[in-house]
Amino acid sequence: MGINGLIANTLITGTASYWDVDGKEQSCTLPVAGQAIDFVSMGNTAPSCPGVAALPADVGDFVGPVNTYNLIVPTASSQVSISSEGAYFAFGFGQLGQAQPWTDDTQIFRRDANSAAQLFISLATGIPPEKFKGVDTKSNGGTVTAVATSIKPEAAIGLVSGEVADASRATVRTLAYQHKGQRCGFTPDSSATAFDKKNVRNGQYHIWAPIHFFAKIDAQKKITNTEVAKLLGYFTGEVEAPSNVDILALEIKSGNVPRCAMNVWRETDLGDLTKNVPDKPCGCFFESVATGATTCTACANDAACPSRAPVCRRNFCEAR
C-alpha cells in the first residue's frame, strides 16, 4: 500500500497492530467501512516507488534517521566482502552469473520488488528490482532465518535492513560492500564487531538512506493531522518529546543513525554525497549510546568544553 495508498486516499480494512505503553504488541480491527491512512513510513523516497513520478502538492516528505541495507551470509561462511559487480551477477543471474560461491539459486535469498531492502540493492547494482534471482523470503526475519540455517553456508547470501542484521549477528554476518569506483569494500561499522556506523556516517559504506515519513499537508506545508504532526515531529526534531522518552537514544539503540550524527548527506536514494553540518551535532552522544564509549570530553556545562567542541550537549562536548 505505502505511498500509493496515501496519495490515492485509499481506505484500509482488516486487522492492525499497535504497541501498548509496556511495548507489547496488540491488535485491533479497523472499521468495516475502512480507515484513512494517516501517514506512511518508508525507507526510500516516493519517486523510487512504481507509479509515483513526484509527490502531489498535498503530501509532504519528512526525513527521519538513517538506515542501512546489508548483504548477509551465515557466520559459517568464509566470505567477507562483495563488490557491486559480484552482487549484480549473483542476484541478477544466479547460477548463470558464475559469481562464486553464490551460484545456487536455492541459496540466494531475496525479497519482492516492493521491499526497500531489495530496491536499494537494485539501485546499487543495476538489477531491476523485479528481476532478482533466488527465493523470496517474504520478510527481513525470513531472510535471516533462511541464511542462518542454510545447509550450504558457503553458497548462502541474502539482503536485509541494517537494524535486523545488527540484531542477528549471532547467526549472520554483514559483508563488506565495494561500490563502483571504490578500491575496497566497507562494512557499515569500523569493524565486524563494532556498532559505531563509522563508515556510514563518513560516507564510505554506500548503501544507506534516511527513513521517510509521508503525510497530508496544507498550503503552508504543515501536516494537517495534529496528532500525526506531533508524532512525526518527535523523529524530525521539530517537536520536543515527553520528558520520559528519549527519542534520539531510542533511534540509536534500534540501529539507526540520527542526522545530527551524520558527517555526510544525500537528497536522493543513493545519490551524490554532500557535507552534512547539523544545527546541533550529536556525534559524541551517538557513539556513547551505540558503542557504550566515546573519546569525547564529558561535561556538565559549556565551561568544561574546549574551543574545538565548545558546546555541552547531552553531557558531551560537541561542535556548535
- Residues of the chain by 3-state class (helix, strand, coil), percent to 5: 30, 25, 50
pLDDT for 95 equals 96
pLDDT for 145 equals 98
pLDDT for 2 equals 84
Q: How far apart are CA 176 and CA 193, in angstroms?
A: 13
Give yes or no for a cis peptide into 101 (omega within 30° of 0).
yes
- Give the strand pairing for 172-174 and 157-161: unpaired
Distance of CA 72 to the CA centre of its chain: 15
Series of mean pLDDT values for 10-residue runs along the chain (320 residues): 90 93 91 95 91 93 96 98 98 97 98 93 96 97 98 98 97 98 97 96 98 96 96 91 92 96 96 95 96 95 95 94
The domains of the chain are located at 2-63+211-258, 66-201, 283-318
pLDDT for 1 equals 61
Q: Which CATH number fits domain 66-201: 1.10.8.290, 3.40.50.10190, 3.20.20.140, 3.40.190.10?
A: 3.40.190.10
